[in-house]
Structure 1
Amino acid sequence: MLRTGLVLGLLALVGPFAIDMYLPAMPGIAAAFGTPETAVQATLTGYFIAFGVAQLVYGPLADRYGRRLPVFLGLAVFVAGSIGAATAGSIGALVTWRAVQGLGGAALMVVPRAIVRDMYTGPQATRLMAMIMLVISVSPMLAPLAGSAVIAVADWRTIFAVLAVAGLLSLLVTALVQPETLPPERRLPINAAALIRGGRDLLRDPGFMGLTLIGGFGMASFFVFIAFAPFVYVREFGLTPTGFSVAFAVNAIGFFSASQCAGYLGERMGMRQLVRRGTAGFALFTILLFALALAGLTSLPLVVAGLFCANACLGVVIPTAMVLALDDHGENAGLASSLGGTLQMVAGGVMIAAAGPFFDGTALPMLGAIAVCGLAAMGLTATMLPREQVA
């Protein structure tokens, strides 16, 4: 399990690295193109939405042709998008090439989750998913620092050149190390009618939808933070790009350290109960943090500490919700994984777009949008994961 977790984690790391590494450069990109901050945030929205929608393609491909081919295809598209972003001559071109990056990176979210479902279910799958997330934790902790180091000696375009190299290295790792986990006899032909029917069944499944959207609003809170924090931490709190990277890493530690306890806690209290309790804690901390901001008590230590606690709650919710959502859909794990990923990424992109008009460079709108995510996750838990289903 350790080797599998490491390989899948390294593959899944490429997409988050493409998000986190260039965060310290976002104010500089706005200055370079002479555009407002919301235009630079559109590069994230474009990435997230493309990343989400493309998962609908990679899931069926993974069920039809096995798990390796979609990874090769996605990485090739990702490398092309990275090269395009490195040479973009306008903010519009950068948004477009970031969307191409997202189209490729989507494969690296869908396929590892389907591979986990091929190999394990229940708490074992949760442990493997948490192990993958432990590897991914390198991204929010080290990627912004790596980006700061790059822009200290070069310009922001070099960041995308580094991402292109990372994509090529991931191709090599997949070719040499990752075996195929879906044997030919278990592969499903691509049938448009069957896909529509399968998608309709998933959308009508309250357990799948509830768990997917609970995780989706948890992920959306991350995306809101990612889009706004570079400007908030620099403008309101006066941090340098390196200082922002350190603060960003601290906020991420809560999530990934807690995620390593998810499998153990799921065995002890039941996986659905774990989702309920974790979601309640997430909502509590985000609402409290927003209330303190409304009272004018915003400070960097308070924001970092509050988000650390909220993210720790999400650390047990998201991997558990992902596993539970797929547990009853092993026969079409690729479709279920891709549809779930699409809904989650689109939720994140929509939240960024919805919060954008309220953003004034301060922490208050950011914390308000994150609190909305907490309220939504708590409401979904109460209505779509009722107490009598808790196990």
Structure 2
Amino acid sequence: MPMLRAAFILGLLSAVGPFAIDMYLPAMPEISRDLNADVATVQLTLTIYFVFFGIAQLFYGPWADQAGRKKPLYFGIATFILASIGCAVAPTIEWLIVFRAGQGLGGAVLMVVPRAVIRDMHTGPEATKLMAMIMLVISVSPMLAPLAGSGLIAFGGWREIFWVLCIAAVLSLVLTNKALPETLAPTDRVRVNVKNLWHGGLSLFRDPIFMGLTLMGGFGFASFMIFIASAAFVYSGQFGLSPTEFSIAFAINAIGFFAASQLAGPLSERHGTSKVIMWGAIGFAGFSAALLYITVAGWTDLPILVAGLFCAFACLGLIIPTTMVMALDPHGDIAGLASSLGGALQMLTGGIMVVITGLFFDGTATPMVAAITLCATLSLLIALPTLRAIRPTRQGTV
């Protein structure tokens, strides 16, 4: 399959999960009022989505290695459709939390399988290019989804968002059936049993480079999850933005991430993947720390916050796609398991950090920026020994 066509198809499939987050963000304050729930409980509807999104990846990866890439997609998307209907009709915040868990359970397949398909087709810089192209397609989510969510809120309310997500999932099911070929040949499939899973999982946990790259990406992704969970309340509470104004501010912050991700492939080819990751880690930690200093000093206004997060997340855009690809490169024979384990660890790391941040959240930017800075610092600290270890062992990928 040509790279552009593959990027378009896999990008559309991969965008459903982010849309389930980004369209929903402007509605969080309204959900709080409509279902009579406090901020922490509404944030739990996001956290539970991420947690189940992460756990379910452990199931889809091995299944995709055994049955091929398409069967898990059918099951996961169908689950997402049913859960979206449940969210749309949820009578209480408790039921919304339950059905958001179902959305995460189904949507996880759209994270695991596309990454495994990439590994089926390409490795190294070519895989990074394809991953970056897919992220370009996904990038319409943080730019357009919040605005679409704001429009739906104005038109009918927050429940309409989940009906639209249901329709998007149905279209994804059709796309999977009609346009996505099976990329894992029957001869390359790995039978799922306890022994294979145990040995495969053990080999990944014992690989310090795989774990280091996964946790680097995990803490980086956790920072973005913290921003997603907190931004609607910070921008509307501290700065008084409307849902539409919040959507614009959110899009500006996200554009930095996705624009930089498009440079990851070319930069990796020219300078080496390890250097690109290190540049990103240093910049991410540096910009985050500078923004935290400004925030704690009381100098934060809306333009400074948006600009600081734009720069920090631009550096993060160099980390996420490169660490994903580099972590999977040596594990092509268990790409599904490696993808699912890596994704699960990243999501669980993010979910834990969101919960911890929620304990200190006061509606202002300071706890959010502090938590992002902590994640950026941990990512940099992990990068230092991990990238040193890569140089003598993986000359072909650095």
Indicate whether the TM-score tops 0.5.
Answer: yes
Retained in 1: the 8 A contact 2:209–2:389? no
Partner of 1:246: 248
Distance 2:299 2:198 in 1: 50
Residue correspondence of structure 1 range 161-172 to structure 2 within 5 A: 161-172=163-174
Question: Among residues 22, 32, 35, which one is paired with 1:33 in the alignment?
Answer: 35
Partner of 1:186: 188
Distance 1:388 1:118 in 2: 23
Retained in 1: the 8 A contact 2:209–2:390? no
Question: Among residues 269, 272, 283, which one is paired with 1:270 in the alignment?
Answer: 272
Distance 2:346 2:32 in 1: 27
Question: Among residues 328, 331, 334, which one is paired with 1:329 in the alignment?
Answer: 331
Partner of 2:11: 9
Residue correspondence of structure 1 range 132-147 to structure 2 within 5 A: 132-147=134-149
Partner of 1:214: 216
Distance 2:313 2:325 in 1: 19
Number of residue-to-residue matches in the alignment? 391
**More divergent stretch after superposition (84-93 vs 47-56):** 84-93
Distance 1:8 1:316 in 2: 20
Question: Among residues 52, 55, 59, which one is paired with 2:57 in the alignment?
Answer: 55
Partner of 2:93: 91
**More divergent stretch after superposition (331-340 vs 260-269):** 260-269
Partner of 2:342: 340
**What's the TM-score, normalizing by structure 2?**
0.97
Amino acid at match of 1:141: M
Q: CA deviation at 1:193?
A: 1.5
Distance 1:159 1:315 in 2: 27
Task: Please list the CA deviations of residues 220-261 of structure 1 after superposition, one character each: whole Å capped at 9, or x if unmatched.
Answer: 111000000000000101110000000000001111111111
Task: Please list the CA deviations of residues 260-313 of structure 1 after superposition, one character each: whole Å capped at 9, or x if unmatched.
Answer: 111110011110111111111101011111111010011111111011111111
Retained in 1: the 8 A contact 2:84–2:99? yes
Distance 2:391 2:377 in 1: 21
Amino acid at match of 2:120: D
Partner of 2:283: 281
Amino acid at match of 2:384: A
Q: CA RMSD in A?
A: 0.9
Rate the CA distance shift 1:252–1:186 in 2: closer, same or farther, 3 A.
same
Q: CA deviation at 1:389?
A: 2.1
Task: Please list the CA deviations of residues 102-158 of structure 1 after superposition, one character each: whole Å capped at 9, or x if unmatched.
Answer: 000000000000000000001000000000000000110000000000000101111
**What's the TM-score, normalizing by structure 1?**
0.99
Distance 1:260 1:306 in 2: 20
1:260 is aligned to 2:262: yes
What secondary structure is seen at the aligned counterpart in 1 of 2:83? helix
Q: CA deviation at 1:162?
A: 0.7
Distance 1:250 1:228 in 2: 16
In structure 1, list runs of 5 or more residues that go unmatched. Answer: none
> Percent of counterpart pairs with the same letter?
58
Amino acid at match of 1:306: G
Q: CA deviation at 1:317?
A: 1.1
Partner of 1:375: 377
Partner of 2:358: 356
Amino acid at match of 1:249: A
Amino acid at match of 2:230: F
Residue correspondence of structure 1 range 94-109 to structure 2 within 5 A: 94-109=96-111
Distance 1:387 1:50 in 2: 32
Distance 1:153 1:274 in 2: 44
Q: CA deviation at 1:385?
A: 2.5
Amino acid at match of 1:335: L
Distance 1:3 1:146 in 2: 26
Q: CA deviation at 1:192?
A: 1.1
Partner of 2:297: 295
What secondary structure is seen at the aligned counterpart in 1 of 2:362? coil
Q: CA deviation at 1:386?
A: 2.1
Distance 1:146 1:388 in 2: 43
Distance 2:384 2:254 in 1: 27
What secondary structure is seen at the aligned counterpart in 2 of 1:386? helix
In structure 2, list runs of 5 or more residues that go unmatched. Answer: 393-397
Task: Please list the CA deviations of residues 318-371 of structure 1 after superposition, one character each: whole Å capped at 9, or x if unmatched.
Answer: 101100000000000000000000001111110110111100000000000100
Q: CA deviation at 1:388?
A: 6.9
